[in-house]
């Protein structure tokens, strides 16, 4: 909930970096806002606009949060002018972001009234905040589309309403927990200097998009591994408890092994020494670890065990309307149908026939 989106700069580099040392010297000697000044640009139409621009200079100097203002400078044609505003807080500070908002919504509209000025605010903090605002505005739609498509595919594959809903909830929980780890390390600075990742700062705005897209793909993969085996057992026996036990026992090692590989790859990003790349690596590694070792192998089986047959419930009208799609090849479905129709005395013969067919099948018979 305390996630603060923004872009890192030289002030977040490790102490050993010359860029960090220059940044600290500049901020200490001339003020924290000097490394990230704000630039105000406007078109100037005539004498009235020049007078309004002169009053803007004095208005800005009297504005809270402003350390200094350079006089307006004009281009060679005299129709464009800019001023440089130095805040009294650091570029990544929330105080500087509040100053940008106050300039845009309160200070500048008063100066522009009655003149032809249309002052635009730029600079480091303004560009960071605008970029973050665009990402945040689109993020709900992006997450909704990703979750919706994943739920539709799981609904078609397993013909159940509960399976897609549980998968969506678990994926959101994994992303939220991973963001907690990222905020603690990179925004609060817990161990960031120890890991050689520099000083605490905001979280990159595009990190949520990357995390959601990559993690939802991996999580759906693990979900299909786990639930497909449960679904096979459910179709054969109709016993939900047995389906959960068998599915977990036969797929947990595959899921955990795949997760260990991905975690090792993502944690290797930390060795790059770059804050942004390390942020991606730690975020994805923590998300995969939580998803594979806590959610998929503990919470999902426990929840499916508690829900019983409700896991596989689908309204009849929806069942008739949905197309028939299976994660199994036709041979497996035919074997399941034979087992379901067989009596107790015939089950052994059916299983023996299927094993004999599997032994006689040659790889050259596989199409393609």
Q: Quick check: is 361 in a domain? A: no
Q: Quick check: is 367 in a domain? A: no
Task: State whether 81 and 181 are in the same domain.
Answer: no
Task: State whether 108 and 192 are in the same domain.
Answer: no
Domain C-terminal end among 100, 125, 150: 125
Predicted local confidence at residue 316, as pLDDT: 83
Task: State whether 102 and 217 are in the same domain.
Answer: no
Task: State whether 268 and 195 are in the same domain.
Answer: yes
Task: State whether 184 and 309 are in the same domain.
Answer: yes
Predicted local confidence at residue 331, as pLDDT: 54
Q: Quick check: is 232 in a domain? A: yes
Looking at the 3D structure of the chain, how many domains does it have? 2
Q: Quick check: is 164 in a domain? A: yes
> Alpha-carbon distance 303 to 163, whole Å?
11
Name all contacts of 282-287 with Cβ < 8 Å and 24+ positions apart: 282/181, 282/182, 282/185, 282/186, 283/178, 283/179, 283/181, 283/182, 283/207, 283/211, 284/178, 284/211, 284/214, 284/215, 286/177, 286/178, 286/181, 286/182, 287/174, 287/175, 287/177, 287/178, 287/211, 287/215
Q: Quick check: is 137 in a domain? A: no
Task: State whether 118 and 192 are in the same domain.
Answer: no
CATH (domain of 87): 3.30.70.100
Task: State whether 102 and 186 are in the same domain.
Answer: no
Q: Quick check: is 357 in a domain? A: no
Predicted local confidence at residue 271, as pLDDT: 85
- Reported residue count of the chain is 368
Beta strands in 217-322 (DSSP E): none
> Alpha-carbon distance 179 to 194, whole Å?
20
Domain C-terminal end among 125, 143, 177: 125
Give me the domain span that covers residue 83.
Answer: 10-125
Q: Quick check: is 343 in a domain? A: no
| Global confidence as pTM | 0.74
Collect all residues with Cβ–Cβ distance below 8 Å to 127 and sequence separation of at least 6: 7
198: left (phi over 0), alpha (psi -120 to 50) or beta: left
Beta-bridge partners for 367 = none
DSSP code per residue over 72-100: PEE-TTSSEEEEEEEESS-TTSHHHHHHH
> Alpha-carbon distance 191 to 184, whole Å?
9
Strands 80-87 and 66-69, by their bridges, are: antiparallel
Task: State whether 241 and 308 are in the same domain.
Answer: yes
Task: State whether 272 and 316 are in the same domain.
Answer: yes
Tell me which H or E stretch contains 147: helix 124-158
Predicted local confidence at residue 366, as pLDDT: 47
Task: State whether 32 and 168 are in the same domain.
Answer: no
Residue 149 is encoded by which pair of tokens?
Answer: 């498509």
> Alpha-carbon distance 324 to 157, whole Å?
8
Which residue's entry shows tokens 């100037």?
Answer: 44
Collect all residues with Cβ–Cβ distance below 8 Å to 259 and sequence separation of at least 6: 222, 288, 289, 291, 292, 293
Domain C-terminal end among 125, 140, 175: 125
Q: Quick check: is 347 in a domain? A: no
Per-10-residue mean pLDDT of the chain, 368 residues long, equals: 76 82 90 92 86 86 92 86 92 90 92 85 90 89 91 88 91 90 89 79 86 86 89 85 91 92 92 85 92 91 90 84 67 56 61 59 47
Beta-bridge partners for 74 = 81
Residue 332 is encoded by which pair of tokens?
Answer: 């497996």
Predicted local confidence at residue 353, as pLDDT: 67
Task: State whether 168 and 244 are in the same domain.
Answer: yes
Task: State whether 97 and 184 are in the same domain.
Answer: no
Is the Cβ–Cβ distance between 90 and 11 less than 8 Å? yes
């Amino acid at each position: 909930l305390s996630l603060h989106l923004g872009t890192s700069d030289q002030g977040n580099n490790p102490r050993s970096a010359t860029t960090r040392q220059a940044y600290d010297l500049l901020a200490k000697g001339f003020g924290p806002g000097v490394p990230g000044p704000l630039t105000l640009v406007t078109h100037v139409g005539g004498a009235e606009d020049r007078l309004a621009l002169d009053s803007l200079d004095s208005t800005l100097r009297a504005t809270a949060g402003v350390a200094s203002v350079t006089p307006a400078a004009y281009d060679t044609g005299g129709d464009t002018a800019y001023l440089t505003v130095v805040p009294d807080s650091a570029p990544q500070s929330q105080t500087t972001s509040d100053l940008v908002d106050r300039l845009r919504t309160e200070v500048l509209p008063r100066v522009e009234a009655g003149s032809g000025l249309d002052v635009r605010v730029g600079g480091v903090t303004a560009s960071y905040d605008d970029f973050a605002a665009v990402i945040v505005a689109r993020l709900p739609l992006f997450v909704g589309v990703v979750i919706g498509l994943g739920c539709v595919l799981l609904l078609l594959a397993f013909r159940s309403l509960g399976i897609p809903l549980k998968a969506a909830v678990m994926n959101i929980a994994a992303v939220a927990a991973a963001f907690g780890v990222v905020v603690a390390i990179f925004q609060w600075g817990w161990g960031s200097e120890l890991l050689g990742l520099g000083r605490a700062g905001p979280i990159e705005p595009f990190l949520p998009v990357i995390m959601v897209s990559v993690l939802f793909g991996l999580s759906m993969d693990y979900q299909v591994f786990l639930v497909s085996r449960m679904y096979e057992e459910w179709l054969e026996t109709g016993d939900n408890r047995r389906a959960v036990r068998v599915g977990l026992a036969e797929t947990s090692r595959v899921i955990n092994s795949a997760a260990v590989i991905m975690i090792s790859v993502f944690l290797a990003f930390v060795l790059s020494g770059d804050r942004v790349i390390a942020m991606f690596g730690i975020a994805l590694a923590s998300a995969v670890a939580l998803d594979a070792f806590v959610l998929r192998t503990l919470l999902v089986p426990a929840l499916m065990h508690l829900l019983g047959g409700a896991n596989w419930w689908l309204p009849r009208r929806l069942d008739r309307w949905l197309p028939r799609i299976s994660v199994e090849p036709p041979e497996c479905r035919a074997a399941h149908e034979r087992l379901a129709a067989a009596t107790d005395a015939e089950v052994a013969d059916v299983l023996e026939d299927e094993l004999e067919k599997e032994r006689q099948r040659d790889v050259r018979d596989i199409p393609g």
